[in-house]
Amino acid sequence: MKKYYADKRSLKFLRAATLLIIACIIIALKYLLYYLEEHFPDYFSIPQITVPEIIIWAVIILLVTAYVIFLMIILPLWYRSVSYTVSAEEIVIRSGIFIKNTSCIKMSAVQYTTAVCMPLSKYTSFNFLFINAYGGRLVCTFLSSSDMEEIAKIIRQSLVSRGGL
């Protein structure tokens, strides 16, 4: 029985990519505000804060807050909670932050697996292993390349030993 965990490189990549996307959105929103001020100078000459300014700043604050809460607090907690246990008899996936979830499939019920590797997955750890069985499917997410190949090899050996391949 061996235990596997989600690779932290994918968390780092998600944080960096999301930060880059949010920065681009904030720059675009600031440019939109500048564009509106240039094309509607009479409306923005009022000393009070205008509705477009309020909306744009609210969207910026909402994006930054969502980034901090989700990618800096909740997602790392999920990464700590997820584990994949593979033995000769069964495959168990445990995950969850607030609500703990345990999924289990007997190795004898597994029909086939599908490995999905995203581009540059050696660096981003965007590797997914779909384990299809009679009556269900398990998904192992954000595995390192070596872990995904090792789990797939264990399942393949189980299928071969029972005459499935």
pLDDT band of 49, cuts 50, 70, 90: confident
| CA atoms within 13 Å, Cβ hemisphere of 95 | 18
pLDDT at 48: 78
Q: What mean pLDDT is reported for the chain?
A: 91
At residue 164, does pLDDT exceed 60? Answer: no
pLDDT at 120: 87
pLDDT at 20: 96
The span from the CA of 28 to the CA of 128, in Å, is 33
- CA 104 distance to own-chain centroid: 21
The span from the CA of 18 to the CA of 162, in Å, is 45
- The answer to whether 27 touches 35, Cβ cutoff 8 Å, is no
- Please enumerate in sequence order all residues whose Cβ is within 8 A of that of 84, keeping only pairs 6 or more positions apart, or say none: 3, 4, 5, 91, 92, 93, 140, 143, 151
At residue 51, does pLDDT exceed 90? Answer: no
CA-closest candidate to residue 101, choices 126, 84, 115: 84
At residue 114, does pLDDT exceed 70? Answer: yes
Sign of CA dihedral 42, 45, 47, 49: positive
pLDDT at 142: 94
What is the value of pTM for the model shown?
0.80
- Please enumerate in sequence order all residues whose Cβ is within 8 A of that of 72, keeping only pairs 6 or more positions apart, or say none: 15
At residue 102, does pLDDT exceed 80? Answer: yes
pLDDT at 165: 58
Average pLDDT over residues 19-30: 94
Strands (E) located in the chain:
2-5, 83-86, 90-95, 101-106, 110-117, 127-133, 136-143
At residue 47, does pLDDT exceed 80? Answer: no
pLDDT band of 45, cuts 50, 70, 90: confident
